[in-house]
Amino acid sequence: MPQDHRGRLERSQIETNAQMVRWTKAVAIFTAVLAILNVPTLAFVGWQAHTAAQAARETRAQLRAVMQFTGVQSIIGVMEETLTPSYGFFSQFQNLGGTRAEQVTAWQSVTYFEGSVPFNTDLSKPAKDVESASPTTVGANANLGIAPVAVKPAEIEKAVNRQGVIIIWGNLTYRDIYNPDVKRSVSFCQRLSPTPQDSKDGKERVMIFAVSPFRSDCNKSE
């Protein structure tokens, strides 16, 4: 091959290699610029995803079932044998959430304590006399009541004369649809303070029961 022809081939190859190097640099620079420009976009997409996830969590938290103890109601009956008044009490709960509460179970007890309540009384467990609510579902904003528990008329009279204390206590457990593996609970303990009042016509004696929290450690939600 002639010397001048070989030289032209070498020069052509050198120019081709130089062009490839320039194109490679250009592509590298373009890729780097594109990556830099994509950083804000990726950050915005990530922020949107985080915001959406947080909003979903907040929505679930607002909609999930939240059972709450709402008070104690008293009812008055008449004992057939003696024709004396009989007093019963039932605790009430309400689902304040926007979805149903599932596997709801509850119990309550009421006891008259002579003098005062012993310090070692375990109010996390029911007494011998207990009423329970069978497992059920409580819809959004719906109420639940436990069957009444009774106190003897003689014990009511003793409480009126401040000879003892009447305590009603209990517990409710449930699960919400968003966290079915988590069992939540509501416990309560309330003091029932009876006060006799005459009816408007003065012919009947009516017993009014004031309800007040007994201890803070057994009035809580978990």
Strand, coil or helix: what is 123?
coil
What's the pTM?
0.70
Q: Where are the domains of the chain?
A: 1-63, 67-221
Lookup: tokens for 25: 């640099």
Per-residue pLDDT of the chain (222 residues), as tens digits, is 555 545 554 555 556 555 555 555 554 555 555 455 455 544 444 545 555 555 455 555 678 999 999 999 988 877 666 667 788 999 999 999 999 999 999 999 999 999 999 989 999 999 877 888 889 999 999 999 998 999 998 999 999 999 999 999 999 999 999 999 999 999 999 999 999 887 676 667 788 899 999 998 899 998
Q: What angle do CA 188, 190, 195 make, to 5 degrees?
A: 160
Lookup: tokens for 187: 């416990």
Q: 67-221 maps to which CATH number? A: 2.60.40
Which DSSP symbol is given to 217? G
